[in-house]
Chain A
């Protein structure tokens, strides 16, 4: 149980395009999901907290117009990187808060490469 599915796993696109990443909780409802970014050989940094039915909360320094987050249902949150540029290339990973104490379940991540 407690599976989080993230798609796509790898995407390559041209500079200037927008890319949407989906994060789904498959067998549980997730009112809160989290989006992290991880640069090579570095740790995970929280980008934003996604709350179902309300606006996302962004961490300081994260451009909300650049990284659009939508959490329209209890099982789906999406991250859209708008007008992507090479510096947006990174590994993006989502997680969903589960029902157990402190439980958090991760997707497998998305490797984004902007050419």
Chain B
């Protein structure tokens, strides 16, 4: 069975600085998707970024980028120029191609200091 591990329960960053959230996963599959979701206090699940395993190029979305290391089964999220609105829970998630449900890590609570 696939598992997703987020080893940082909480992280803190100064406004305008850069922070990296870690995620590792375990799978025997070669084709899958990885995601980072943001959950603010409103508890909406907001898709931050998506990576397809067969693509070697790391995904980027404005201030958000990932470092996808397939062999190491690592998928970290880098947030550049952190803003107060980035404060939230961040969940790393795995999706097996052919199945639909997401497997989530335990989450990392990110605080942004002004």
Q: Interface on A for B, CB 8 Å cutoff?
A: 32, 34, 38, 42-46, 49, 91, 93, 95, 97, 101-102, 104, 106, 108-109, 111
Contacts and interface: CB of A to CB of B under 8 A. Distances in A.
B36 interface: no
Contacts of B42: 108
Contacts of A43: 91, 104-107
Contacts of A45: 104
Interface in B85-107: 91, 95, 97, 100-107
Most A Cβ at <10 Å: residue of B45, B97, B100, B105: B100
A101 B100 contact: no
A101 B104 contact: no
A101 B33 contact: yes
Contacts of A93: 43, 45
Most A Cβ at <10 Å: residue of B44, B45, B105, B106: B45
A6 B6 CA distance: 28
B107 A104 contact: no
A42 B91 contact: no
Nearest to A108: B44
B21 to A, nearest CB: 14
A11 B82 CA distance: 35
B100 A34 contact: yes
B50 interface: yes
A46 B97 CA distance: 17
A44 B50 CA distance: 18
B45 A106 contact: yes
A104 B95 contact: yes
Contacts of B91: 43-44
Contact of B44 (A34, A44, A106): A106
Lowest 3 CB-CB distances: which A-B pairs, in order?
A102-B33, A106-B45, A97-B100
A95 B61 CA distance: 22
A27 B103 CA distance: 25
